[in-house]
Amino acid sequence: MGAKYFDPKRHTVAVIGLGYVGLPLIVEFAATGFKGIGVDIDASKVESVNSGVSYIPDVPTDDVKRLVKSGKLRATTDFSEVAKADAIVICVPTPLRKTKEPDISHILASCDEIAKHVKRGQLIILESTTYPGTTDEVILPVFERSGMKVGRDFYLAFSPERVDPGNKQYLTKNICKIVGGVTPECTKRAVELYGYAVENVLPTSNARVAETAKLLENTYRSVNIALVNELAQMCRYLGIDVWEVINAAATKPFGYQAFYPGPGIGGHCIPLDPYYLTWKARVSGYEAKFIALAGEINSNMPHYVITLISDALNEHAKCVKGARILILGVAYKKNVSDTRESPAIEIIECLRAKGAKISYSDPFVPTLDVAGVKHKSVKLDTRVLANADCVVIIANHDGFDYKQIGEHAKLIVDTRNAMNAVRKPKGKVVKL
């Protein structure tokens, strides 16, 4: 594709927010030839990037070091640097308020800062997950205050992030990019820009379609996870192994996709995105009951796990109060260090409130703060396992020795079916 609007040899891309989404993205743009400017309010991240060190497991430090050394990548806390960019991509967090309503304050704060330095001809793209209409209704007015016209003086689009931390097969470069502009010209320019950094780009008719597509992806996962989470609870009453049921159903080569139960959903996407969609539907006069029910089932799973732990201890003539409980894995999923919305945090907090003595082991998370109490990961060995009244597997990291766990733990509550590979564990295993 010949350069029409952008030339990697001459143009600069700025990325606002250098987290799990922003850092991989700016590295891809810089690797393609663009000058990359990363902007973040966290000075430690900026210092790390400028030192050539990656703090995101999916981004090799060698790549960051090479790009910084070549002058293709640098980071700053100074928003005025966006004036030097030809394209600006916003990758900031979009959490939920306690009321389960969207919190787009980080987006608005970033846009307000960018608007102070925006120049004619710039392309601005939002990647942060948000509700349908945000780009048109909220962001566009911020940039039109200056009197500039979208599609003529500046260009605005939405392109949802689709990263999957810890996934070694699908990374920023080979995940299809969805792009929806406020005008056709905005879409055209955004499609071209991403075409340099990623392998496939899909244009949509407008920004609202792109915004909703992202929410559908994770709502689909939330609903299907809720289905198997409810099935797991039902199968327990029926005396059926839910894991065997799912594996049997998965042999059907069409019309079925396997999802698996767990201790609760975590990460930044699945626990939050469906609420962005249901909130927008509600304020528009429609109640999305099915999606809301899925969220209710998933959010209850940590409490269901606590019930399993309590019942398992009771069968061993022990109560939760005073029990030594060892949590294995506090990240929200296997082989990552991300603890955002991790069910382990709620489980630990509830067990502590019931008087349990909690310890945890996670090779990816050396320390963890739960409700103001700092915990430190313990080294998993035979002594630690034997000393625990109950071992609870929350994140089934590949680095755990499950054979060792089966031989030395007296009681295991397995929420991930991790012990299935151990032939004859000596300790009792209670599966989700």
Distances (CA, A) of 417 to 123, 395, 420: 47, 10, 6
* CA 261 to chain centroid: 18
Q: What are φ and ψ of residue 392, in 5° steps?
A: -120, 120
Q: Is 251 exposed, middle or buried (0-12, 13-18, 19+ CB in 10 A)?
A: exposed
Take residue 387 and report the two structure tokens written for it.
């000393």
Residue 203: CB atoms within 10 Å: 20
Interacting residues of 410 by C-beta distance below 8 A, sequence separation 6+: 316, 386, 388, 389, 390, 427, 428
CA triple 73-174-395, angle to 5 deg? 90
Burial degree of 383 (CB within 10 A; 0-12, 13-18, 19+): exposed
Beta-bridge partner residues of 258: none
How far apart, in whole angstroms, are the C-alpha atoms of residue 230 and residue 301?
A: 9
Distance of CA 288 to the CA centre of its chain: 23
Choose, from 111, 186, 269, 390, the residue flagged as catalytic.
269
All residues at 6 or more sequence positions from 223 whose CB lies less than 8 Å from its CB, including other chains: 274, 290, 291, 294
Active site residue 235: no
H runs (alpha helix) in 53-204: 61-69, 105-115, 134, 140-144, 184-197
The angle, 0 to 180 degrees and rounded to 10, between the axes of the packed helices 22-32 and 61-69 is: 50
State the catalytic residues. 269
